[in-house]
Amino acid sequence: MAAMLFRTVHDTADLTGVPDQLRPLIEACLDKDPERRPTAAELVRRLAEGGPPVDGTGWLPRPVAQLIAKRSAELLALPDVPPTVVGPADEAPKPPRPGRRRFLAVASGGAVLGAGGGLGIWAASRPDAGSGGGGGGRPTPPRWTVGVHADLTGGQATAGTAQRRGAELAVESLNARADRPVTLALKTLGDRGTPGGARGVAERMAADPAVIAVIGPTTDATCAAAIGAYDKAGLPLLSVSVGTAEVSAVEHPSYLQTRPDDGGLGLPLLSYLARHTRPHRTALIDDRTAGDYSWNLIRSMATAMRGGDLPSLTVTVPADARDFGRAVDEVRRSGVRAVVFGGLAPRAALFARELASAGFTGARLATQPVIDAAFLKRAGEAANGRLLSSAFTDATALPAARPFTAACRKRYGSAPGRYAAEAYDVVGLIAQALRELDPQGADREAMARRLRAVRYRGITKTYAFERGNGSLTPGTGLFLYRVEQGRFRFLGDYESATRA
């Protein structure tokens, strides 16, 4: 995954065989910066210059042009599609199947609190509210419920609670607007961090006809356990913190992963190495104690580095190794200028201390699992200077998240936790999809399709998904931290941070 992302984001496309007259236009379309790519109108203009007639068919073989004309005539002759009629708000839903009925929201909205941020962008671009309401006043917005499926009492309760709080603030911010075209309610259910609990929560969410989409679950294991129930109900599930690639939007049409999966965490490190350590060699440390996580990361990085002419050396540390003596000796003998550690926080601290004792002063890199207070405590001074990739932001360091951070401190008495700002954004993403879909006539399956087509600018990143596989646009949502003076300092999105 990291190798593919690295080539997609950084490599020049192979245009061998492309006619010379088309090459400049295709290169422009493949520009790494979306702002520099030609618009559709510009494409039409440039293709038409000195080219085919204005009907656009002169370049086609005659039989193909005739077929297009025939199909166009048939399409124009189709009867008009009758308008959709939405029943009154108190009309009961008529299933035959949960995923295909039109769900009418019945839950009430939450308290009102203005948090600003990305939801302001959504509200400013809303459509006209339409007709309705009494006495010529503003119509009553339709109501929908957003579910939050989280670990609230188990081993990842801190992360689950942070996501619940972010969603609460987003719903309150939205509902505080008098001109909102939809009112959202929140339904939060905890799964205790267990697969069995996750399946039960998914079934309860699916059985509630008011729920139009669900945020969660918190962990990889609970997501894998719950996805079947959400798929069966056609209920959109948007994960915020799940990193596994085993649950994918390709196999599960109701699912969207709103962060890059763990396989993409190597991309920021590859970008840094390409800019700052080339042509020197990098040691890739595969700590087998971390199992598949370390193996997948190190293997994908080694593959990408071979393809990108970045010399590397892979050092495997057995799962039963009590220390990193042999690995550190290999690093010293090889004369590498950078080291990437593929394991988790406790072992990363041990490796950091041993590497520092050996006098290594080159670049030291690792990934998101090392962003943990346990690493700072156990590594001590040896932690400083380490560069870490992640799929989450520090909301307190984002200018766009200042209103959200202030609201979080006021409401909960503390700064936003990990993934709180991302959960806030995902509520805005859901609201944007409802706006585009027309909240009066929304249903779950239509929402699942619309969510994949939405482009939403949140306070943490811009959310846009690949139409073919439902994954985030490559390179989106990846960040860098550095340990400085015993603290994790957020550097920003990886492209900006590695250019600095």
Position with higher pLDDT, 2 vs 329: 329
Mean per-residue pLDDT of the chain? 83
The two tokens of residue 194 are 């267990």
> In the chain, what is the straight-line distance between the N-terminal and C-terminal CA atoms, in Å?
25
State phi, psi for 218 to the nearest 5 degrees.
-85, -35
pTM for the full model? 0.75
Write the CB contacts of 485 (distance below 8 Å, at least 6 apart in sequence).
384
Determine which of 23-32, 57-66, 426-435, 473-482 has the lowest per-residue pLDDT on average.
57-66
Residue 81 pLDDT greater than 50, yes or no: no
Has residue 312 got a pLDDT over 70? yes
Domain ranges of the chain: 23-75, 118-126+142-260+396-469
Q: What is the tens place of the pLDDT at every residue in 329-375?
A: 999 999 999 999 999 999 999 999 999 999 999 999 999 999 999 99
pLDDT tens per residue across span 235-264: 999 999 999 999 999 999 999 999 999 999
CA distance 204 to 191: 11
Given CATH 3.40.50.2300, say whether it is the number of domain 118-126+142-260+396-469.
Answer: yes
What is the DSSP pairing of strand 487-493 with strand 479-484?
antiparallel
Kindly report which listed range (7-21, 31-45, 108-122, 291-305) carries the lowest average pLDDT score. 108-122
pLDDT value at residue 354: 98
Identify the CA nearest to 241 among candidates 351, 163, 353: 163
pLDDT, tens digit, 9 for 90 and up, residues 21-50: 777 878 788 876 666 778 776 776 676 564
Is residue 187 within 8 Å of 214, Cβ to Cβ?
A: no
